[in-house]
Amino acid sequence: MSNSRVWSTKDIALAAYVSMRGESEGIALAKVERNGKDSEFFFRDPNEKVDEITMEYPRSESFKFDAVIRVLKSLGYCQRKRG
């Protein structure tokens, strides 16, 4: 990709958070690889800041939002199976 560090994740919520927060640090989405149902997101991290950003994620509103979305989604699946 380039000489900068490359970081990747398969977690779409974490990838979205890194995209939002990393923009000011020069972190950019480099590519997305799809393998069946899974996707892997690759980011260029020229200033090696992605570790700091990912450490902030569990304490962020974005993490709380994603957790609630996942619960609601699972409740929706449970309701669909019963009805």
pLDDT in tens, 56-76: 999 999 999 999 999 999 998
pLDDT computed for residue 1 by the predictor: 46
Based on the structure, what is the number of domains in the chain?
Answer: 1
Residue 77 pLDDT grade (very low, low, confident, very high; cuts 50, 70, 90): confident
- Cα-Cα-Cα-Cα dihedral sign, residues 59, 62, 67, 71: positive
pLDDT in tens, 16-47: 999 999 999 999 999 999 999 999 999 999 99
Return d(Cα 4, Cα 74) in angstroms, integer.
Answer: 38
Residue 79 pLDDT grade (very low, low, confident, very high; cuts 50, 70, 90): low
Give the number of other CB atoms < 10 A from CB of residue 14.
18
Domain that holds residue 76: 5-82
Return d(Cα 25, Cα 19) in angstroms, integer.
Answer: 10
Return d(Cα 12, Cα 70) in angstroms, integer.
Answer: 12
Give the residues across from 32 on adjacent strands. Answer: 41
